[in-house]
Amino acid sequence: MPNICSVKDLKKVAIVGVGLLGGSIGLALPAVAIGCSRVGIGRRRSSLRRALQFDAIDYGTLSYARGLAGAQLVIVASPLRHFERIFAAMAPHLPAGCVVTDVGSTKVEPARLAQELLPSHVTFIGSHPMAGSEKTGVEFSRADLFSGAPCVVTPTTSTDRHTLQLVITFWETLGCTVVRLSPKQHDEVVARVSHVTHLAASCLFLAAAGSGRLELGGPGLMDTTRIASGDPAMWLDIMHMNRGPLLSAIKELTTLLGQARTALRAGDDEGLLALLTDAKQRRDKWIAQKLAGKEV
């Protein structure tokens, strides 16, 4: 059981890593939990100072002992590669009944680390608010970053329903539409709707660059490869941590490309048209649903 029941009763929230996502949570908190104290925990004084300047936190500290004392909710918003170190450093200082979540782009690995490293008197539920951009840093934070964004919350068999409800309500209060999936389901889905897309965008740009005539690339190439300009180190982390599902997704994409190639080579116009039409119809329907969702 968590030691608080509702988001508006939060008295102290600790944000570990105050970048774009952590900072946006900090900016959004005062409106949903009046009087709640927001502490930022980081590795560099300069980052914490910047977070203070942007009013994303009330105070910052390099010390887990100080930062976590009395915290009811802890949100880990650092790059995935730091999770193991952070979970180990947090463990001795987490108050009993405290709820821990994160905003990482994969969910199996954080759940495994929590199971291994966090004390049994706290509850961990992984979250993945699907907001952000290729920009990073607290200076791009916005209180409304999460408004309308999906957020996957990933309970496990050991999750109690009170804590689950608290975490779900937390993200809903910030404007997210919450989807519940197991960590494994989450990782399989994001490999297909996001991670493989990033890898393909990188490969597509390299293929285009290989033509030696990039001046002929237009808006289509620009949009299709936009995400390839994201931070390579961050994406390496994500891909590394979601290796199995990503390998399956690459295989699936390669199979689809192979089908198109076979149809093209055989002069099977019907087969190729069916593939192009299927993709267009599904995408148009998806876009229409997105737009309808925004109007509600």
Q: Which of residues 178-197 bind its own copies (CB under 8 A)?
A: 179, 181, 188-190, 192-194, 196-197
Strands 99-102 and 123-124: parallel
Among 63, 115, 147, 229, binds its own copies (CB under 8 A): 229
Q: Minimum distance from CB of 150 to its own copies (Å)?
A: 5
Q: Can you tell me which of 19, 104, 155, 230 binds its own copies, judged by CB under 8 A?
A: 230
Cβ proximity of 102 and 74 under 8 Å: no
User: Which one, of 32, 93, 97, 49, lies nearest residue 67 by Cα?
Assistant: 93
Joined together, the tokens standing for residue 12 give: 């102290």
Burial of 186 (0-12, 13-18, 19+ CB in 10 A): buried
Residue 236 near its own copies by CB under 8 A: yes
- 202 burial class (0-12, 13-18, 19+ CB within 10 angstroms)? middle
Pick from 35, 211, 291, 296 the residue near its own copies by CB under 8 A.
211
Task: Please report whether residue 153 would count as binding its own copies according to CB under 8 A.
Answer: no
Shorter beta-carbon distance to its own copies: residue 100 or 199: 199
| Using rule CB under 8 A, residue 288 touches its own copies | no
Residue span binding its own copies (CB under 8 A) among the ranges 2-10, 33-41, 155-163, 241-249? 241-249
Query: For residue 241, which phi and psi values (nearest 5 degrees)?
Result: -80, -15
- CB of 141 vs its own copies, minimal distance in Å: 17
Local structure of residue 73 (DSSP, 8 states): E
Interface pick for its own copies out of 96, 213, 291, 296 (rule CB under 8 A): 213
- 216 in contact with its own copies (CB under 8 A): yes
Binding to its own copies (CB under 8 A) within 243-282 occurs at: 243, 246-247, 249-254, 256-258, 260-261, 264-265, 267, 269, 272-273, 275-280, 282
Contact between 83 and its own copies per CB under 8 A = no
Does position 228 interact with its own copies (CB under 8 A)? The reply is: yes
H/E segment holding residue 186: helix 183-190
The tokens for 156 are 């496990």
* C-beta separation of 35 from 132 below 8 A: no
- How far from the centroid of its chain's Cα atoms is residue 287's Cα? 21
Residue 161 CB coordination number (10 Å)? 9
CB of 42 to its own copies, least distance (A): 24
Residue 5 interacts with its own copies (CB under 8 A): yes or no: no
